[in-house]
A and B are shown apart, each in its own frame.
Chain A
Amino acid sequence: MAKRHSTPNIGVLAVQGDFAEHIRMLESLGVEGREVRLPADLNGVDGLILPGGESTAMRKLLHRWDLVKPIKALAKRGAPILGTCAGAILLATKIADGDEPVLSLLDIEVRRNAFGRQLESFETSLVMEGFGKEGRSRTIQAVFIRAPEIVNVGPSAHAVATLEDGRIVAARQGRILGIAFHPEITGETGVHRWLVAEATAALG
């Protein structure tokens, strides 16, 4: 039997959203992504991606299929988790304007649809701190689609990317990363490389 320590098993939440795009990104890095729809799909998973999608729909499906507890347990075991856009909303400890938080794994407050409707969806380049080679910064092209904004970063987390106007769009707390944009649709590999490296490190 092959030893499993070299490539980690990465799960991709597949209740709704662009999970196939994330799985393709992982494949391009030589890592297989596993679709997660039920708690049993998380068995043996070393890292998890919460994709882009419609956060209200994803929230309901997470509760309906009892996925909240096992995902929190996975984080507690030290597995890295990446949330993009709707995924970042699911990770947040606070959601502006009343919605209950879902996973509460990342110490941030997010505001949904913070830029407006689809006509305000946009592309821009931005700098991600610590996601380049040897922990340097990395400039990437980022696509924001009816995106959330991180309106507050709590003491346990820190911002890793801001827009030119200063608004925060990515934040990290240890092995938990939430970003408001979509590297999976531009083919930007830096964030997925980070996840795979963290999952590999967590395997020991």
Chain B
Amino acid sequence: MCENRGMPAPKRAKTSTWATKSGLAQMLKGGVIMDVVTPAEAKIAQEAGAVAVMALERVPSDIRRDGGVARMSDPDMIKGIQAAVSIPVMAKARIGHESEARILEALDVDYIDESEVLTPADDRFHINKHDFKVPFVCGCKDLGEALRRINEGAAMMRTKGEAGTGNIVEAVRHIRTVAEEIAALKGQSEKRVRAAAKEMRVPYELVKLTVKAGRLPVVNFVAGGIATPADAALSMWLGADGVFVGSGIFKAKNPAKTAVAIVQATTHWKNASILAEVSAGLGEAMKGIEMRTIPEGERLSKRGW
């Protein structure tokens, strides 16, 4: 079935509408998106119940270790992963790198992640995502950053956390910050909300819509530091729509078992006895890094504006 590209949409149908772009993210809700670097890992992820895979050359913890410039993956590697699985395949472009994004669009990836995990290509502008047919997911640390990305056309968000650390503390901080900033605007006068919109450099209508809904107007996953089933459950408890797991799976002692357990925990995040059951006997999780040991200048979450 993987080689079956299908017969395209009928002629009078409209493709790449806002409903199709944001709609795919809606279908991923309650699920786990896993970073994979080979077709074999992609198959393990699909077998474990991942709702999508992120195809990349190195997981964030290796990017962090290796240093240097991190770029879009080799198209052959992305194609290999597309051929290996039937679930959606996402891939990362550098912040502001329109050409990498065009290449990924030509490869027919299902979503592009304009990602701070790669080295930014533009220190002023993010990609104008409205210009693309393929949908984008972007990272955020706070409400302003989220709404700027959505205003640029992002159809899905993820709070950034600190990728490649196996430490959930930044992920928690970011999803809490977004929620608190939305809550703080609830019931405020139009004047206050307009001032907030101006400060965040986004249209008033977008802020108004967000405050009224009490949440971001697109699907929002948690990312950056999720390493255990309990981490996934905590993310859901904090209001995430789903979970990205990067290094947390294939840097664990037992990737296949850890992947299955994180999937179960994301579904049953409210059920502590199931969480206890799936957390048992997984072996060592990825090692993890204490935040104090990462200099400010090496924090990936600081990338993006």
Interface residues of A, Cβ cutoff 8 Å to B: 14-21, 37-38, 52-54, 56-57, 60-61, 64, 85-86, 96-99, 111-124, 143-146, 163-165, 167, 182, 185-186
Q: Does B29 interact with chain A (Cβ within 8 Å)?
A: yes
CB nearest neighbor in B for A96? B1
B133 and A119 contacting across the interface, CB-CB below 8 Å? yes
How many whole Å from A58's CB to the nearest CB in chain B? Answer: 9
Q: Does B50 interact with chain A (Cβ within 8 Å)?
A: yes
A121/B8 contact (C-beta < 8 A), A16-B31, A16-B51, A54-B31 known: no
A57/B49 contact (C-beta < 8 A), A18-B29, A113-B1 known: yes
A97/B20 contact (C-beta < 8 A), A115-B6, A144-B9 known: no
CB nearest neighbor in A for B48? A60
Q: Tell me the complex Cα distance, A14–B266, Å.
A: 11
CB nearest neighbor in B for A164? B10
B87 and A145 contacting across the interface, CB-CB below 8 Å? no
A17/B29 contact (C-beta < 8 A), A121-B24, A164-B12 known: yes
B87 and A54 contacting across the interface, CB-CB below 8 Å? yes
A118 and B134 contacting across the interface, CB-CB below 8 Å? yes
Most A CB within 10 A of own CB, among B5, B16, B23, B133: B23
Q: Tell me the complex Cα distance, A18–B46, Å.
A: 19
Over the window 3-40 of chain B, the binary record of Cβ atoms lying under 8 Å from chain A Cβ atoms (1 yes, 0 no) is 01111111111111101100110111111000000000
Q: Which residues of B sit under 8 angstroms from A18, Cβ to Cβ?
A: 26-27, 29
Over the window 59-92 of chain B, the binary record of Cβ atoms lying under 8 Å from chain A Cβ atoms (1 yes, 0 no) is 0000000000000000000000000001110000
A186 and B19 contacting across the interface, CB-CB below 8 Å? yes
Q: Tell me the complex Cα distance, A57–B263, Å.
A: 9
Interchain residue pairs with CB less than 8 A apart (25): A16-B29, A16-B51, A16-B266, A18-B27, A18-B29, A53-B28, A57-B87, A60-B263, A61-B49, A64-B264, A86-B27, A113-B1, A113-B86, A114-B6, A118-B110, A119-B133, A119-B134, A121-B9, A121-B24, A145-B27, A146-B27, A163-B10, A164-B10, A167-B10, A186-B19
How many whole Å from A12's CB to the nearest CB in chain B? Answer: 11
A52/B10 contact (C-beta < 8 A), A121-B15, A122-B20 known: no
- How many chain B residues touch A (Cβ–Cβ < 8 Å)? 48
Q: Which residues of A sit under 8 angstroms from B144, Cβ to Cβ?
A: none
Q: Does B108 interact with chain A (Cβ within 8 Å)?
A: yes
A-B residue pairs, 3 tightest by C-beta: A122-B9, A122-B13, A97-B1
B interface secondary structure, majority: loop
CB nearest neighbor in B for A185? B23
A85 and B9 contacting across the interface, CB-CB below 8 Å? no
Extra 9 A-B pairs, beta carbons < 8 Å, given A19-B29, A19-B30, A113-B4:
A17-B29, A116-B8, A118-B110, A119-B133, A120-B6, A122-B20, A123-B20, A124-B10, A164-B11
A53 and B10 contacting across the interface, CB-CB below 8 Å? no
B27 and A124 contacting across the interface, CB-CB below 8 Å? no
Q: Tell me the complex Cα distance, A4–B61, Å.
A: 55
CB nearest neighbor in A for B52? A54
A114/B7 contact (C-beta < 8 A), A16-B51, A54-B31, A57-B49 known: yes
Q: Tell me the complex Cα distance, A20–B263, Å.
A: 18
A85/B111 contact (C-beta < 8 A), A120-B6, A124-B10 known: no
Q: Does B303 interact with chain A (Cβ within 8 Å)?
A: no
Q: Tell me the complex Cα distance, A19–B241, Å.
A: 11
